[in-house]
A and B are shown apart, each in its own frame.
Chain A
Amino acid sequence: MEIELATDLKWILACSTLDVPENGGACIKHEDEQIAIFNFSRRNEWFATQNLCPHKQQMVLSRGMIGSTGDTCEPKVACPFHKKTFSLVTGECLSGDEEYEIKTYPVKVIGDKVYVGIRSTT
Chain B
Amino acid sequence: MTNEKETIVVIGNGMVGYKFCEKLVAKTDAYQIVVFGDEPRPAYDRVHLSEYFNGKTGDDLLMNTLEWYSDKKISLHLNDPVQEIDRHNKTVHSLKGITQSYDYLILATGSSAFVPDIPGVEKEGVFVYRTIEDLELISAYSKKAKNGAVMGGGLLGLEAAKALLDLGIQETHVIEFAPRLMPRQIDSAGSNMLQMKLRALGLQIHLNKSTALIAGDGKIEALNFTDDTTLPVDMLVISAGIRPRDELAKLAGLEVGTRGGIVVNEHMQTSDANIFAIGECALHSGMIYGLVAPGYEMAEVAISKIAGGDKQFTGFDMSTKLKLIGVDVASFGDPFINEPDCRTIALEDTSKGIYKRINISKDGKELLGGVLIGDAADYNMLLQTVKNKLALPPNPEDLILGARGGAVNEGAGVMSLPDDALICSCESVTKGDICCSVKEEGVTSLDGIKKCTKAGTGCGGCIPMVKDIITGAMKEQGMYVKNVLCEHFDYSRQELLDLIKMNNVRSYDEVLDHYGRGDGCEVCKPAVASILSSLWNDLIVKQQPIQDSNDRYLANIQKGGTYSVVPRIPGGEITPEKLIVIGQVAKKYNLYTKITGGQRIDLFGAHVNDLPNIWEELIDAGFESGHAYGKSLRTVKSCVGSTWCRFGLHDSVSFAIEVEDRYKGIRSPHKLKGGVSGCIRECAEAQAKDFGIIATEKGWNLYICGNGGSKPQHAQLLAADIDKETCIKYLDRFLMFYIKTADPLARTATWLNKMEGGMSYLKNVIINDSLGICEQLEEEIQGLIDTYHCEWAEVVRNPELRKRFSHFVNAPEEKDPTVAFAPMREQVKAKEW
Contacts and interface: CB of A to CB of B under 8 A. Distances in A.
A24 B546 CA distance: 8
B616 interface: no
Contacts of A76: 521
Given A42-B509, A42-B519, A75-B519, A15 B810 contact: yes
A63 to B, nearest CB: 7
A68 B552 contact: no
B396 interface: no
A73 B519 contact: yes
Contact of B557 (A43, A66, A81): A81
A33 to B, nearest CB: 11
B614 to A, nearest CB: 18
A102 to B, nearest CB: 16
A80 B559 CA distance: 11
A14 interface: yes
A65 B546 contact: yes
Nearest to A76: B521
A14 B549 CA distance: 24
Interface string B516-527: 001111101110
A28 B808 contact: yes
Given A14-B810, A27-B808, A60-B561, A65 B525 contact: yes
A7 interface: no
Interface in B523-556: 524-526, 544-546, 548-549, 552-553
B809 A81 contact: no
Given A58-B561, A66-B545, A26 B525 contact: no
A103 to B, nearest CB: 16
A47 B714 CA distance: 48
A49 to B, nearest CB: 15
A69 B518 CA distance: 8
B547 to A, nearest CB: 8
A80 B549 contact: yes
Contact of B521 (A26, A58, A60, A68): A68
A19 B553 contact: no
A23 interface: yes
A21 B809 CA distance: 11
A121 interface: no
B3 interface: no
B557 A67 contact: no
B521 A69 contact: yes
Contact of B549 (A27, A63, A66, A85): A63
Contacts of B769: none
A20 interface: yes
B520 A68 contact: yes
A20 B654 CA distance: 45
Interface string A38-66: 00101100000000000011111001111
A59 B549 contact: no
Contact of A24 (B522, B544, B814): B544
B809 A15 contact: yes
A79 B560 CA distance: 13
Interface in B96-132: none
Contacts of B560: 58
A10 interface: no
Contacts of A19: 809-810
A28 B810 contact: yes
B833 A56 contact: yes
B468 interface: no
B545 A67 contact: no
Contacts of B816: 34, 59
Contacts of A65: 521-522, 525-526, 545-546, 548
Nearest to A80: B549
Interface in B703-756: none
B322 to A, nearest CB: 42
A67 B230 CA distance: 74
Contacts of B509: 23, 42
A66 to B, nearest CB: 7
B206 interface: no
A25 B549 CA distance: 13
Given A24-B545, A59-B816, A73 B810 contact: no
Nearest to B545: A24
6 contacts: A19-B809, A34-B808, A60-B561, A65-B521, A67-B525, A75-B519
Interface of B: 487-488, 509, 512, 518-522, 524-526, 544-546, 548-549, 552-553, 557, 559-561, 804, 807-811, 814, 816, 818-819, 833
Interface of A: 14-15, 19-29, 34, 37, 40, 42-43, 56-60, 63-70, 73, 75-76, 78, 80-81, 83, 85
Given A34-B818, A56-B559, A73-B519, 7 more contacts: A19-B809, A25-B545, A29-B808, A56-B833, A57-B833, A64-B522, A67-B522
